[in-house]
Chains A and B, each alone.
Chain A
């Protein structure tokens, strides 16, 4: 019997190790693939041209140009807009759920928040075209609503479930003793919430927001459908923008293998990969610091 138990123990330990290894190997593999192909792009195009404000026009009529400045700015605008919307909403919602809402309301709202994460991105994009876009056009008196703000609003809603559920965990993790001490000193519920609970979870909330940003920045279909995809340098939230994700998605299907354009798309993907990787990494660091302090 012991022999059999030993076998199964070892079997499951090893399978878990293999799954862990496969995930890491895949990540490293993706990075290497991107890096090797991007290297060719950088040697053909030059880093200066690639990170310049020149137009992104690889399939130009005359001379192709490969500047990702406008695309980076498009990604930054939509993501920043999404953060500005999602951060207060998400954190507020998390506080409401864990500190204020009565149990019954909470049990009703939580599954709804989780359902938000289940809306397919193409459906969000569609909403952007038929609902958010016309709404923005009407409210701001624009000819059309296919702009960065439209993308921001949609991305905010896609990032909200991440922000809310992580923030809520963070708020819940604040030791009960803190709040009780506050009440004991005569502070009311609001004072306790603002002066005690909130400061206790600053870094956790920051991590939640950063993971939300990480979610928003890599989103493709929604922005591809809702932001208009103009490659012109955006001048604000009301400009049509083309994000890096949309560029790769639009052009990868068509580009002839082994051309400068092909490698340039890998370079775009590498830039995006490094951005999301560093955001997630930073969020992890912040969260880890929090865990350490909580002990």
Chain B
């Protein structure tokens, strides 16, 4: 069982002090025009340089390096000229957790977390005979004889069952894509910025019914980097530190390939265990959170996460998100950069950048007024994880 005394010592002891990202919208057009001039490491390097500049630290200050899942650690270090004293590899949320653990325990003091992905120009497939991720998640490839493939189809099954159980309608589901698009309109770096109406959402073609085009994330090239260090050092730096206040994790593996925890439980067991840990460690509850970023490879992640993390009762997420409640000016702003649906699909990494900008009050037109606490939630394949960030001094 997690040890809450030890976790309490980790709370607020590590901060994010620098963020960098690449030019998603520009690069999306370049990829479409076959004018790409970078590979995954090229995007990673640009994001890293921007993160260093944002933090005001030199490359020689970096003593820990975490490579995102699409990069090889050695090559990343070679490209960036970093020979770290500590290194790891992980997806967005695990990279942050590993960095927090390493800094808190003294393995390193200033860690760069670096992600780069040229999935669009490289033609990464998320379904079919060459579906990405099948070596890690058997369900992604196991049902090919029946034509069952792609993560979107797995979420379509969940959505269909949810609709049958709770009476959710397509128009209602469309609120998620529409709310995130309204945020994206206020983000110059978002790929999809044109307004999206209910009629346009419903006119979007089905990919795997009941999910339509606008329920699916983008597939684009880009990179993200973050610099993390001790809270003490962060307080001596120029920008307002963003503290890692709580972390929680719960991996649901039992029955994963049969889809049992997905279809019967909507991963709520993992959500609840993670929520209990992250809220306890951060010393806050859902009512204290000013904005939430949810890993949204598909719109419906938002519904299941809201219910599982206690923002609303099970079966009521459809009502919760209605009437713009999760959009600009709503009672719980979600995916305020536009998320994976409208800003960029950086596999959870761009969500961290947005949280840092919001808590530093650097988010411009889409700034959530007075934001102090922000929560990140991901539940990819039932590996539920969450981080609560706090603006220093809150």
Query: A and B: real partners?
Result: no
